Amino acid sequence: QEAVELEFATIPLYMTSLYSIVDGCNSEIYDLIRSVLIQEMLHMVQAANILIATGGTPIVDNASFVPSFPGRLPGCVHPNLIVYLDKLNLSQVFDVFTTIEAPNITCVGQQFPVLSNHTIAQFYFEIRDCIQTLGDTIFQPESEELQVSWPWPLQENNPVGEVHIVTDVSTATDGINEIIEQGEGTDLLNPGDLDGGQIAHYYRFQEIVCGKKLINISDNEYAYSGANITYDPVGVWPMRQNPGAEGIMPGTNCYTQAAAFHGVFRALLRELQTTFSGNPSNIFKTVELMEALQVHAKRVMRVKYDPDDNDNEDTCGPVWDYDFEVQEVVEETRDNT
């Protein structure tokens, strides 16, 4: 369950920065972040399949499942790291994104231990070790038909990965290993597949920070000295940091667009819950809602937070609060009283 929560917690972080990019701008960075975002969705489904295979049901449509921002990651991953929602900027990518995906040792330049302890890989190592210790008897034979397959077709030249149907220790280990490899790299000296463009998440984010593609310069030696990756801050909407429901004035365009985004977000949680509760074919409804969420995220990025404040250009931004709808009801009740 914590693995499902951990993978989901990265989605608002990456998606918020992704859709703060103005259409047609920062296209290389857009593609890099989007490629990571899609794989985080895959990882969430993989973690859910492992839980389902052992007889559990992922809890998704619940206030305790949705992360708060600013806040810490689930699973005690990087316990000293405070993650927050922000528009695309190099500080956000370096301070938050690369730390989330950081390996214990980087294969670029001098090898050194990451300052933040308990990486995502270490979190999954513990799960993998536990599964291998408990053995095949923890897996439920009837669970296979309840598990979710990846709904998007795999792309031959730019594979996103594979969701494994879990039936035993071996298939669970395969799924966990894929999560680790896509996040940190295939091993301590290999960032991933440079030719196919699918290097590990950590190195993709570092490419954005360094402004250069990662290339292999000799055996087991890599450097950010390839083609330029340009970051243009002008091509980013000036979204307020950690957009939430608090402070949004009813009747404003910000309120209308934020509520529209949030309505789709809550519908997505409900459909994910249905999908993980024994209805795997329902995943296609969640895909439709993810596409709708993208549309509403882009809309709410463009709307001014306070239309009456000419000195503040902050835009509204998407609201990921679970209880936004409840807050609306409370506010209306207070007004009527």
User: pLDDT band for position 324 (50/70/90)?
Assistant: confident
Please state, in angstroms and rounded to a whole number, the distance separating the CA atoms of residues 37 and 43. 10
Please state, in angstroms and rounded to a whole number, the distance separating the CA atoms of residues 57 and 206. 36
User: Which of 318, 303, 287 minimizes the C-alpha distance to 86?
Assistant: 318
Please provide the average confidence, as pLDDT, over all residues in the chain.
87
Q: Which two tokens stand for residue 51?
A: 């839980």
Average pLDDT over residues 210-228: 88
Question: Beta strands 221-228 and 212-218: pairing type?
Answer: antiparallel
- Is the pLDDT at 205 greater than 80, yes or no? yes
Give pLDDT tens digits for 235-280.
999 999 999 888 888 889 999 999 999 999 999 999 999 999 999 9
Give pLDDT tens digits for 33-92.
999 999 999 999 999 999 999 999 999 999 999 999 999 999 999 999 999 999 999 999
Average pLDDT over residues 119-126: 91
User: pLDDT band for position 328 (50/70/90)?
Assistant: very low
**Considering just the CA atoms, what is the radius of gyration of the chain in Å?**
20
Give pLDDT tens digits for 284-297.
999 999 999 999 99
- The structure's pTM equals 0.89
